[in-house]
Amino acid sequence: MTDRALAVVRAGALTTMQDRGRPGYAHLGVPRSGALDPYAAALVNRLVGNDAGAAVLETTLTGCAVRPRCGVTVAVGGAPCPVTVDGRPVAWGAAVRVGPGAVLEVGAAVRGVRSYVAFAGGVAVGPVLGSRSTDLLSGLGPAPLADGAVLPLGAPPADAAHYEGVPWRGVPREVVLGVRLGPRDDWFTDGALRTLTTCAYRVSAASNRVGLRTEGPPLERARTGELPSEGMVLGAVQVPPDGRPVVFLADHPTTGGYPVVAVVREADLAAAAQAAPGTRVRFVRAR
Amino acid sequence: MRALEVGERALLLEFDGGEETRAFHAELLRRRAAGLLPAVREVVPAARTVLLDGVADPGRLAAEAAGWEVPPLDARTGPVVEVPVRYDGPDLAEVAALWGVAPAEVGRVHTAVEYRVAFCGFAPGFGYLTGLPERYGVPRRTTPRTAVPAGSVALAGPYTGVYPRSSPGGWQLVGTTRAVLWDPAREPAALLSPGLRVRFVEEGA
């Protein structure tokens, strides 16, 4: 009898399954998707002995709770949060054994936004185009978790290499995003480019897996009119008509018609994804 | 051609017109198939641009691409996909009026030309098809529909498209197809991918 599965006790505000996503299909209109904080997803996988690309749970602010039907090694990382098993506190950021039928409670994020939960063997929902990632923009991959849902788990790795003391990045109080201007910086005034790279913005509550929306001084256009839709990259800083920059995250559309004033360094995007609404964001020119 | 760097690992190639863009996209695919292109994760054509994403050295690729001899697009080469259509869409009469033909003639006009998938976007497997002469361009509906059925064959601006699944949409619906536009379990998942030639064939008239 195959009992390698877990039941969802509390889905939380938004909990999705994520791996490395679906690169290579943008020309068909398929977003890349994948874990917004790929470093955290890779580390929790390592802690339970999985490949870095195994599917994990990605929570949003309020955590989640699951009840594995079998004994399984788990690890919770990313946004720091309290973790309990059947009500008893256990370690965050380390491998923890959960007995069959016990409830793993991933609490609300103390700082940051997204916690990651890895299970030895990974979440084994059927892949779509090679990935188990939930893509919220186009609806590909598994649906977000719902209370009572049952998710299959993969076979545990044969030699569960356990690591102690993996390095976790802190969640900074202010997020600094290195940008390179372009490709459409010429659509903005010099003043707007100075504003972007000198003024402080704040993370808007309207942010999601598609983009980090900001509040702050609007960027003034040097030209009017519409740009024909063009291909978009991860980290693109798109400026909609309201002038507030939006940083494209993993579920971003593959093409778009608002001008991209700059592009954020990929290495800085995990910090963007962990920036809670209200967090200060600064864009600095990186070369 | 204008080459714009996009962050550290991507390049946006911009062209004066659609035909030039299509021709350059075809050249990119030829070079990629022949192993003559450095590793590129994504090749994303759009109306007047081609994005190359996941490139180790965008500056070098830009310099290289500037020297390529790109032949004009040959309308007779490349695979052709036939899409069977019943011209029974709810906007048939409106489109017929815009074209100055009888509703029963819309299918004849629409099937008389060959199309090419210029690019995809909006939803997985939604292709923007060019080929309809300019005088047949139609505006989007002033009020988009909240739900357009999957398989709807639709027109907007210079483009023809087929809705891969039910979704909101503002295009003028002229017909329906039983072809499956998008099936992630199929290889290839998208029936219409950029560069393909497409013919619409009227059925059950």
The answer to whether residues B34 and B104 belong to one domain is no
Taking residues B139-162, report their average pLDDT: 96
Question: A178 is in which domain, residue-wise?
Answer: 174-285
> Is the pLDDT reported for residue A75 higher than 70?
yes
For B56-104, the pLDDT digits (tens) are 999 999 999 999 999 998 878 888 999 999 999 999 999 999 999 999 9
Nearest CB to B51: which of A24, A140, A230? A230
The answer to whether residues B39 and B129 belong to one domain is no
Q: Please report, rounded to a whole number, the percentage of residues in chain A having pLDDT higher than 70.
A: 97
B8 touches A at CB < 8 Å:
yes
In a domain, A114, yes or no: yes
Question: Residue A220: pLDDT band by 50, 70, 90 thresholds?
Answer: very high
Chain A residues in contact with B45 by the CB 8 A cut-off are 27, 231
The answer to whether residues B179 and B113 belong to one domain is yes
Cβ-Cβ contacts under 8 Å for B142 (sequence gap 6 or more): none
> Is the pLDDT reported for residue B162 higher than 90?
yes
**H-run or E-run covering B179:** none
The CA distances from residue B180 to A90, A167, A239, in Å, are: 50, 48, 35
Chain B residues in contact with A29 by the CB 8 A cut-off are 120-126, 190
B48 touches A at CB < 8 Å:
yes
> Is the pLDDT reported for residue B205 higher than 70?
no
> Is the pLDDT reported for residue A163 higher than 80?
no
Least confident of A223-227, A255-259, A279-283, B196-200: A223-227
Chain A residues in contact with B184 by the CB 8 A cut-off are 128-129, 140
- Average pLDDT over chain B, rounded to whole? 95
A180 touches B at CB < 8 Å:
yes
A235 touches B at CB < 8 Å:
yes
Least confident of A1-5, A33-37, A178-182, B137-141: A1-5
For A92-151, the pLDDT digits (tens) are 999 999 999 999 999 999 999 999 999 999 999 999 999 999 999 999 999 999 999 999
pLDDT, position A161: 63
pLDDT, position A287: 66
The CA distances from residue B160 to A73, A194, B113, B154, B171, in Å, are: 52, 42, 12, 6, 9
- Residue A198, both tokens: 């000198």
Contact call for residues A97 and A162 (beta carbons, < 8 A): no
Report pTM.
Answer: 0.95
**If DSSP states are collapsed to H, E and C, what string results for chain A?**
CCCCEEEEEECCCCCEEECCCCCCCHHHCCCCCCCCCHHHHHHHHHHCCCCCCCCEEECCCCCEEEEECCCEEEEEEECCCCEEECCEEECCCCEEEECCCCCEEECCCCCCCCEEEEECCCECCCCECCECCCCCCCCCCCCCCCCCCEEEECCCCCCCCCCCCCCCCCCCCEEEEEEEECCCHHHECHHHHHHHHHCEEEECCCCCCCEEEEECCCCCECCCCCCCCEECCCCEEECCCCCCCEEECCCCCCEECCCEEEEECHHHHHHHHCCCCCCEEEEEECC
- Edge-to-edge order in the sheet of strand A16-18: A16-18, A56-58, A115-119, A72-78, A95-98
The answer to whether residues B98 and B14 belong to one domain is no
Chain B residues in contact with A255 by the CB 8 A cut-off are 44, 46, 119, 121
Q: Please report, rounded to a whole number, the percentage of residues in chain A having pLDDT higher than 90.
A: 91
Residue B191: closest CA among chain A residues belongs to which residue? Answer: A28
Tell me how many domains chain A contains. 2
pLDDT, position B110: 98
Burial of A208 (0-12, 13-18, 19+ CB in 10 A): middle
In a domain, A226, yes or no: yes
Contact call for residues A114 and A274 (beta carbons, < 8 A): yes
pLDDT, position A160: 64
In a domain, B14, yes or no: yes
For A48-73, the pLDDT digits (tens) are 999 999 999 999 999 999 999 999 99
The answer to whether residues B9 and B37 belong to one domain is yes
Where would I find the H helices in chain B?
18-33, 58-66, 92-99, 106-111
Distance from the B155 Cα atom to the nearest Cα atom in chain A, whole angstroms: 17
The answer to whether residues B45 and B86 belong to one domain is no
Q: Which amino acid is at B148?
A: V
The answer to whether residues A142 and A249 belong to one domain is no
The answer to whether residues B173 and B98 belong to one domain is yes
State the CATH number of the domain containing residue B149.
2.40.100.10
Distance from the A37 Cα atom to the nearest Cα atom in chain B, whole angstroms: 19
The answer to whether residues B116 and B15 belong to one domain is no
CB contact under 8 A, B121 and A255: yes
Instruction: Specify the 3-state DSSP secondary structure of B160.
Output: strand
The answer to whether residues A199 and A128 belong to one domain is no
> Is the pLDDT reported for residue A1 higher than 50?
no
Question: Residue A162: pLDDT band by 50, 70, 90 thresholds?
Answer: low
The answer to whether residues A10 and A77 belong to one domain is yes
CB contact under 8 A, B41 and A23: yes
CB contact under 8 A, B121 and A264: no
The answer to whether residues B88 and B168 belong to one domain is yes
Tell me how many domains chain B contains. 2
A-facing residues of B in 10-39 (CB < 8 A) are: 10, 12
pLDDT, position A2: 59
B49 touches A at CB < 8 Å:
yes
Q: Which amino acid is at A186?
A: D
Backbone angles phi, psi at A185, to 5 degrees: -65, -25
pLDDT, position A170: 81
In a domain, B73, yes or no: no
Residue B4: closest CA among chain A residues belongs to which residue? Answer: A183
In a domain, A83, yes or no: yes
The answer to whether residues B159 and B92 belong to one domain is yes
In a domain, B72, yes or no: no
Q: Please, which residues bridge with residue B14 across strands?
A: B2, B49
In a domain, A158, yes or no: no
The answer to whether residues B48 and B99 belong to one domain is no
pLDDT, position A167: 81
Chain B residues in contact with A26 by the CB 8 A cut-off are 42, 44, 51, 53
Note the ipTM here.
0.95
> Is the pLDDT reported for residue A228 higher than 70?
yes
Question: B100 is in which domain, residue-wise?
Answer: 80-202
State the CATH number of the domain containing residue B42.
3.30.1360.40
CB contact under 8 A, A24 and B123: no
The CA distances from residue B90 to A60, A136, B86, B127, B159, in Å, are: 42, 30, 12, 21, 18
The answer to whether residues B16 and B91 belong to one domain is no
Handedness of CA B109, B111, B115, B119 (dihedral sign): positive
For A183-193, the pLDDT digits (tens) are 999 999 999 99
Instruction: Specify the 3-state DSSP secondary structure of B22.
Output: helix
Contact call for residues A234 and A249 (beta carbons, < 8 A): yes
Of A237, A34, A238, which Cα lies nearest the Cα of B41? A34
